Structure 1
């Protein structure tokens, strides 16, 4: 019976487990206990108590049992260890409750201990004291779920999207994280990519639209082909899709992303200080998981905009298997001719930007195919294939300083990739994964410039440059994770990686370079997430890479820790050493023009990158309000730069240091959301320089250095209408001209975008349509990767490609 101020328990010759269960059900108290163990104790009681804790402690008084409270959960354990050695195993996978898509990297709390599912949504937990487990599950864009489950070796847990009204499921918490989650570890972000479809931008580039608005990821300069994270150089951030590396297509002018949004399921970012499973990079890690497809019924999604046509279809094949096919194609010339004018507020007096008219032509296509399934024993498998091509040509002409300048550029890129994956769930709760992957990028670039003087018909200067650069990666990776316990969560793995690069460069029909490099490496790693308490976790780990060509072992220890002060506030820190064996090296000429080329590190002309990361983070969240801070320090040695001069090419090696702090404030309220982020950073580099016959190294600003970047994004939910806007400000990059003052910035970056979306849903189909306006105020910005200088007899002419101008985009999306 229940009293206003007292808890009354009446029982005669009743087992303790039944009494505890009755208390749990009647008073809605969270309990964790061994049901079989408590059933062996018979209790007679007729007593009232002032609190649940007093009642529980009285019930176990005199018995070989302990009561421990962790957060709001009471845990009943035995005084003595389990002498029989019996283990209670809980394993399973988390899926979407509607189409049965697996949910990778979902958050699970088992008996107050936090876990993360693997890329196929699998998890495993082992206990010697509990046979009933309290589970708390959450996944971005889905309703949270609290439940109690018993021992189970192949449990299926369904979560439901927050946009779907499910009456038959009882949800303990109707709130859900919609946009992003920063509570994993320092420097980590997990993003709900579906929010990107409501933000301004092309529907073909919603993934990058969302990435560029996150703190620490450079948005100014619009370098969508390379994510610059925490001061990293181009090529130092790894983008992977379904287990294979994506080296990147041109994606000129920000309109088409390298990954098709229609087949994107999960998006996670590790800006630095990540664990030992990730290798071969000294910058950030962006991991994208593709959809598996529905095993219930065929589905179709189609998007058309003023740029491309995008189709994605899936269908069940055999039992618990599905096939996904997707493709994108431009259906007319993407860009019209446009005129570029010098920015009126350019403060860099040493360089003058000129007017020119660019006539571009662009073609793009890519295709994805994925077959996936799950066996009756809970084993997962898939085969994911990808190919893409883009061709970009442009010509320009201008008259400046009594010169006629005519130029043309041609760039062709072909990206391909594939991965075969198999996951084995063992009877003891262990999970083994093996991935075989290959990917590559073939790039061709040509540039022609014709310089004439109308007053002097005898003067003519021509230059022609041809560059072919290919990179390929083949890898095998094996990982095994033991079932998590309240003390540890052990992960180990090993693998093999092969990289090949080739480079051919001709200048004015004279071959300047022809190189072929290869690297073979064997690696292994181990780490253990050790729980000192449910609130305090330490994760030591170590990774070792053996370069077979260099005959050298690269040891990379890493350490991470986190402490949860309360359910709302958490701090985390990480440290580690990192190596990278391929490089996207900068090639600079006498005028300061930059080009980039993939090369395998040979340990001599191109050293192996070595970097040290220090990261400290904090996160606060309450009532759908988030504040997140990351502080980082990165030192990297082995930065290679090629210098092309009149005497030929030479290579120089230097180092870099980056320090900064990211702030993020986010609020969600009744379907509306907004966030603001600010990054304060400094990235410097040092290369040897001869002064008075002495070689010195002085730190100066790196090309990607930008002191301030401010971002805002917001979505207003007026269902079925959605209004959104975002703004990015960047304080500007230093000039790369050797004659300019390195402390003077180029043009600051300002861009304001707006969008409106309308959604129409019926039982069998869904429609979405919308309009975006990029750069609403037509602010002139420089696209940093397309800046070029042309020397004349007396002057240097500076030509640049404008970043996104005032650009309206329309889209229509249809899905079954």
Structure 2
């Protein structure tokens, strides 16, 4: 065990008090002068004779006795000194003399730094010996592992793994200087000796700490963008204080990040840097979340009470990540308290959310969490004309639908840690939602009667085991399975208003499923000041089905599989502590296509000083499943999951270029990302009166993200701006001439501006955020794609009160979404129904209206 004691001496208290009385009593003047003359010799009077009288006692215990009895500041490796025993009966005039005598003839050196004695191993005797430091970073209160913690060891940066484990080896010295930081926690700066299974506790900046030895008070509260190009690490606790339902605090903070599309309110189908739908992967505890419908962003697919760590990889990510060409959002779940049972309950006027955890056996815990809508999210479903013309909605929409929406989900997780530091968990998830909408209106001479009924069921689970070997290597294995089942029934009946004669009847039933099973093994070598290699391999299977009935006649019955083997390797190389290059390579072998897909990756970072850092990355990426869009003559889109077959649905191929610059000083941050993405293999289906055909194309996206953030005390504010140009190219036949040129993609939005701020007044937290989007193009084929359909504007605000007692915590407040009730268009929820030759009915499923939410959260 590594021992470090720092104590402040108070022996001069009476002398200092005497000095303070100098101005009050002139008779003491001469005594004061005499006191100052003696100061240079004060250590001689203060020095206390050291007496050691022990018989056959271990050296570490003798050293501990010196620390306890003689107020000596000393640092040493307890394990190494315990191997030696001493017998002694004599006195010494100083601590240094006593220590030199005890260490005489032993393979140790005595050094002194800032009044602290340091006992180290003799370098001559250990020059070829490997010193190993392995450890685990966790929350100092609830013992939760802190994944992907940033650690700097002897000046060289590294990152812990999923369970907060790290390993570092050196040959020069057995002492390691550590700087440990995790988003939302106080930083730790300390010195430790070579050790196995070292536990490093960190403490949240939101709790009161009486004393933390050698800990910096510096923290980064909201987000960390300064560790890799295109990557953002988010503090999920900040989302709890932002406006919005507490059932979706994960998305509350995700949508405010630059590059993540907020306009259009796609809470569970994230569009990052102009990617197409389905190209961004969201994973939770190692299994894929394909996403429930979640009609708007009041409820997110991930229960915030289960979310611990959130990492957004917008582009240029490393070789370990595969199967997506757009972006990656990794969310790691809570493990639960291993100390005592806990309870969290959240209630608002939309849903109830609760989680409970308890220790089961030694070093194990069980967590259960569930959510349920107990009040219809939009009251009874209805259809009406737009009631607000503030944003020009009436110019585009004839009918606004408020659907009936029901949602529920449940999480169960069992976690544990062995005595040797191995970690394991079993995480299970199930959720489903149901959306019903109906409408009846008259357009000209046509009566329109329609309905939409949609149900989604999502399930997933993962088993994980993590092993730390004696040589410092860290291995992990993950077995995961997940799937989504979507049922969609659309009915439409068009009749003549005057005589009721039927014009057209539609009754389409669609069932689309996607499943994924995977096995993944990773192995990370012990880090050194030059290398930090990570390798892995595994297997992935995807299965999709598509069934379609039209007027009770089956039109489609498809089932497709994709089986793949993969392997990857990446090894960061440090030219200097400030200059790092990470070459990597990933290979996927599709067993069905019998084809190998090689994907090289490369990134580099250079730290100019403590304030300024630049990173760059490049890579090739592949994706073997697609969320393909099907459009009709009116520009209505429907999306279905399918497996790439290499021909009509090609395997996506993308190339990413990312350049990042980050500046930080005095808790002020400026971060800039410049990116370019090019993707081939984009598939689209055209369904019209002539039948169904497939078109293939490519897309490109380039732009700029800027994030400016300032934190001061317990308050923070940030502003972000995204400039994006997303284009696509499909062959078009116009007058028997094939034209192939780029035009705006449906998800293209040129400008998006976001603002968020939180002010803390004692126990009250006032927050607000605003999002402006310049708007999307119209998807109607006859419309000009260069024109924006409608700009997006939404302002939210919230006031929260927090009360912390000794045994419980209480949080309550009011949150208002869309304070000014601006009506915006929701991407993918806009339908055009042709009624006569030159007339259509534009039906619009409402985005978030003016939504006040009163909430109460209680935790034990």
User: Match for residue 373 of structure 2?
Assistant: 330
Give the TM-score normalised by structure 2: 0.85
User: Match for residue 263 of structure 1?
Assistant: 306
1:342 CA drift (Å): 7.8
Whether 1:140 aligns to 2:167 is no
1:469 CA drift (Å): 0.2
Whether 1:364 aligns to 2:407 is yes
1:98-155 CA-to-partner distances (Å, cap 9, x unmatched) read 1111111111110011111111000000001120011001111111111110000110
Q: Does structure 2 conserve the Cα–Cα contact (< 8 Å) formed by 1:353 and 1:800?
A: no
User: How well do the aligned residues superpose, as a CA RMSD in angstroms?
Assistant: 2.6
Give the TM-score normalised by structure 1: 0.89
User: Match for residue 32 of structure 2?
Assistant: none
1:366 CA drift (Å): 0.4
List aligned pairs for 1:555-594, cutoff 5 A: 555-594=598-637
List aligned pairs for 1:331-350, cutoff 5 A: 331-336=374-379, 337=381, 339-341=384-386, 344=389
Whether 1:207 aligns to 2:227 is no
Whether 1:195 aligns to 2:231 is no
Q: Does structure 1 conserve the Cα–Cα contact (< 8 Å) formed by 2:546 and 2:557?
A: yes
| Equivalent position to 1:741, from 784, 787, 802 | 784
* Structure-1 separation of matches of 2:361 and 2:388: 60
User: Match for residue 855 of structure 2?
Assistant: 811
User: Match for residue 14 of structure 1?
Assistant: none
Q: Does structure 2 conserve the Cα–Cα contact (< 8 Å) formed by 1:342 and 1:354?
A: no
Whether 1:114 aligns to 2:162 is no
1:318-372 CA-to-partner distances (Å, cap 9, x unmatched) read 0100000111111122212453418747789xx9534335352111110100000
* Structure-1 separation of matches of 2:603 and 2:690: 48
Q: Does structure 1 conserve the Cα–Cα contact (< 8 Å) formed by 2:391 and 2:823?
A: no
User: Match for residue 759 of structure 1?
Assistant: 802
Q: Does structure 2 conserve the Cα–Cα contact (< 8 Å) formed by 1:310 and 1:329?
A: yes
Whether 1:470 aligns to 2:513 is yes
User: Match for residue 403 of structure 1?
Assistant: 446
User: Match for residue 42 of structure 1?
Assistant: none
1:360-419 CA-to-partner distances (Å, cap 9, x unmatched) read 211111010000000001000000000001111011122222322121110000000000
SS in 2 for 1:474: strand
User: Match for residue 753 of structure 2?
Assistant: 710
SS in 2 for 1:281: coil
* Structure-1 separation of matches of 2:818 and 2:388: 15
| Equivalent position to 1:802, from 825, 831, 846 | 846
Q: Does structure 2 conserve the Cα–Cα contact (< 8 Å) formed by 1:340 and 1:802?
A: no
| Equivalent position to 1:279, from 322, 335, 345 | 322
1:221-266 CA-to-partner distances (Å, cap 9, x unmatched) read 1111200000000000000000000000111121110000011111
SS in 2 for 1:549: coil
Gap change, CA 1:168 and 1:702, over 3 Å in 2: same
User: Match for residue 124 of structure 1?
Assistant: 167
| Equivalent position to 1:446, from 476, 489, 502 | 489
Q: Does structure 1 conserve the Cα–Cα contact (< 8 Å) formed by 2:424 and 2:466?
A: yes
Gap change, CA 1:559 and 1:490, over 3 Å in 2: same
Whether 1:727 aligns to 2:770 is yes
User: Match for residue 22 of structure 2?
Assistant: none
* Structure-2 separation of matches of 1:358 and 1:345: 18
* Structure-1 separation of matches of 2:389 and 2:420: 67
Q: Based on CA coordinates, which of the two structures has the bigger radius of gyration?
A: 2
User: Match for residue 472 of structure 2?
Assistant: 429
Whether 1:299 aligns to 2:342 is yes
Q: Does structure 2 conserve the Cα–Cα contact (< 8 Å) formed by 1:347 and 1:746?
A: no
* Structure-1 separation of matches of 2:295 and 2:121: 61
SS in 2 for 1:195: helix
* Structure-2 separation of matches of 1:695 and 1:262: 54
1:610-642 CA-to-partner distances (Å, cap 9, x unmatched) read 000000001111111110000000000000111
* Structure-2 separation of matches of 1:488 and 1:166: 36
User: Match for residue 463 of structure 2?
Assistant: 420
* Structure-2 separation of matches of 1:734 and 1:668: 37
Range with bigger deviation, 597-606 or 454-463:
454-463
User: Match for residue 135 of structure 2?
Assistant: 92
Q: Does structure 1 conserve the Cα–Cα contact (< 8 Å) formed by 2:400 and 2:843?
A: no
Aligned residues: 754
* Structure-2 separation of matches of 1:359 and 1:162: 42
* Structure-2 separation of matches of 1:621 and 1:168: 27
Range with bigger deviation, 802-811 or 337-346:
337-346
List aligned pairs for 1:447-596, cutoff 5 A: 447-596=490-639
SS in 2 for 1:204: helix
* Structure-1 separation of matches of 2:445 and 2:153: 75
Gaps of 5+ in 1: 1-5, 11-17, 37-64, 66-75
SS in 1 for 2:820: coil
Range with bigger deviation, 423-432 or 454-463:
454-463
Range with bigger deviation, 353-362 or 131-140:
353-362
Q: Does structure 1 conserve the Cα–Cα contact (< 8 Å) formed by 2:687 and 2:693?
A: yes
| Equivalent position to 2:286, from 223, 238, 243 | 243
User: Match for residue 46 of structure 1?
Assistant: none
Q: Does structure 2 conserve the Cα–Cα contact (< 8 Å) formed by 1:356 and 1:397?
A: no
User: Match for residue 16 of structure 2?
Assistant: none
1:682-710 CA-to-partner distances (Å, cap 9, x unmatched) read 00000111234343311110000000000
Whether 1:785 aligns to 2:785 is no
SS in 2 for 1:205: helix
Gap change, CA 1:347 and 1:744, over 3 Å in 2: farther
Q: Does structure 1 conserve the Cα–Cα contact (< 8 Å) formed by 2:457 and 2:486?
A: yes
1:423-474 CA-to-partner distances (Å, cap 9, x unmatched) read 0000000000000000000000011112222124324322121110000000
* Structure-1 separation of matches of 2:518 and 2:825: 38
1:144-197 CA-to-partner distances (Å, cap 9, x unmatched) read 111110000110000011122222422431121111101111100000011011
Q: Does structure 1 conserve the Cα–Cα contact (< 8 Å) formed by 2:768 and 2:797?
A: yes
Whether 1:388 aligns to 2:467 is no
User: Match for residue 375 of structure 1?
Assistant: 418
Q: Does structure 2 conserve the Cα–Cα contact (< 8 Å) formed by 1:768 and 1:814?
A: yes
Q: Does structure 2 conserve the Cα–Cα contact (< 8 Å) formed by 1:106 and 1:117?
A: yes
Q: Does structure 1 conserve the Cα–Cα contact (< 8 Å) formed by 2:402 and 2:845?
A: no
* Structure-1 separation of matches of 2:755 and 2:715: 14
Range with bigger deviation, 577-586 or 399-408:
399-408
Range with bigger deviation, 158-167 or 604-613:
158-167
Q: Does structure 2 conserve the Cα–Cα contact (< 8 Å) formed by 1:346 and 1:746?
A: no
Q: Does structure 1 conserve the Cα–Cα contact (< 8 Å) formed by 2:153 and 2:176?
A: yes
Range with bigger deviation, 799-808 or 167-176:
167-176
Higher relative strand content: 1
SS in 1 for 2:608: strand
* Structure-2 separation of matches of 1:413 and 1:252: 11
Gap change, CA 1:347 and 1:78, over 3 Å in 2: farther
Q: Does structure 1 conserve the Cα–Cα contact (< 8 Å) formed by 2:616 and 2:659?
A: yes
* Structure-2 separation of matches of 1:346 and 1:767: 39
